[in-house]
Amino acid sequence: MTTASAQTRLRKFLKLDWEKNGALYALALLFVISSVASPYFLQLQNILNILRQVSYTGIIALGMTFVIISGGIDLSVGSMTALVGGVAILTLNKLGGGFWAIVGATIVAAVLGIVIGALNGLIVTKGKVAPFIVTLGTLAVYRSLTLYISNAGEFRSSSSLYPKLGMGQFLRVPIPVWVMIGLAVLLHLVLTRTRYGRYVCAVGSNEKVAKYAAIDVDRVRFVSYVITGLTVAISAVLLSSRLNSISSSNAGVNYELDSVAAVIIGGTPMTGGSGTVFGTVYGAATLGIINNMLNMLGVSPYLQGTVKGLVIIGAVLIQRKRK
């Protein structure tokens, strides 16, 4: 093998590796920079706090990954979080607040999340309305229903066991983080090892070709919204249990921005057709580290949205250059 051919193969290998793991490399670089910028960044408690904070939007982003890969978007996830979390607490209080009440409230939350996600999916697929318009409308509907049910107040749990779910730890790692990791592994297998996962990528890549290949495009997209509804429900239960309450007006605010940002930073293009679940996890962690460092450096919280917006735009520009 000549030196020239070896260099060519090395360049191809490095290029392919970057395309697959670009989000991970960016996260590693940001981790190193943050470690140098602040002596407190590497403290174990700080790392765990970052992971806990990103787990709620990260779980939602896992479902959002399927929606975006299939060529859609869901802007209603923040309002869905507040509505599902509120109903979960109402159910918990109604059932008495014990262990089985928590189980019942979790089941009710999961069913409600699936139903709401299915409603979004039905309007998009059967109503033939653009996903942006549908979920922008349901964003307002779900928030309005949440405010009405609570009379614009707060849903408060009377259970002493419920906070242990959101605040609990296993091997010193918060339970929400374990849930996010477990869901990431499961959904990664769904995306990469199942027929449905291949269909999701095919539909997002070229809808017409997918139809010619006898793929039920509407069903594939519908299921992606159902998955998102379920991940929203899981996040809502964990969030409401951590606080033992949930605000009808503030809960889930900007979750749609954070979840979409995590998916995009993780390497999934807004045009759909490709993407990775673990890339989304890396994207969520990147956002968490950025927010953490801005706080440590004393940057005004009013400017953090600016930084987040610039990161999203930069990620999209990088994706266009790769194409």
pLDDT at 27: 82
Name the average pLDDT for the chain.
Answer: 88
Task: State how beta strands 245-247 and 154-156 pair.
Answer: antiparallel
Give the side-chain half-sphere CA count within 13 A for 264.
23
70-75 average pLDDT score: 94
pLDDT in tens, 139-171: 999 999 999 999 988 999 988 899 989 888 888
- pLDDT tops 90 at residue 234: yes
Determine the average pLDDT of the residues in 90-112: 94
pLDDT band at 138 (very low <50, low <70, confident <90, very high): very high
pLDDT at 183 over 70: yes
State yes or no: pLDDT of 10 exceeds 90.
Answer: no
242 in Cβ contact with 157 (< 8 Å):
no
CA dist 291 and 182 (Å) reads 24
Task: Judge if pTM exceeds 0.75.
Answer: yes
Contact residues for 127 (Cβ-Cβ < 8 A; gap 6+)? 134
Which residue would you say has higher pLDDT here, 69 or 42? 69
Question: Of 29-33, 51-55, 76-80, where does mean pLDDT reach its minimum?
Answer: 29-33
Judge whether residue 181 has pLDDT over 90. Answer: yes
| Band of pLDDT at residue 314, cut at 50, 70 and 90 | confident
Q: Between 1.10.3470, 1.10.10, 2.40.360, 1.10.510, what CATH number should domain 42-322 receive?
A: 1.10.3470
Provide the pLDDT for residue 61. Answer: 96
Return the beta strands (E) in 102-253 as ranges.
Answer: 154-156, 169-170, 173-174, 245-247
Give the pLDDT confidence score for residue 16 in this predicted structure.
Answer: 47
Who wins on pLDDT, 110 or 293? Answer: 110
Specify the pLDDT at position 298. Answer: 79
pLDDT tier for residue 116 given thresholds of 50, 70 and 90: very high
Cα gap 69→53, rounded to integer Å:
25
Using the predicted structure, report yes or no on whether residue 282 has a pLDDT greater than 50.
Answer: yes
Per-domain boundaries in the chain: 42-322
Q: Is the pLDDT at 11 greater than 70, yes or no? A: no
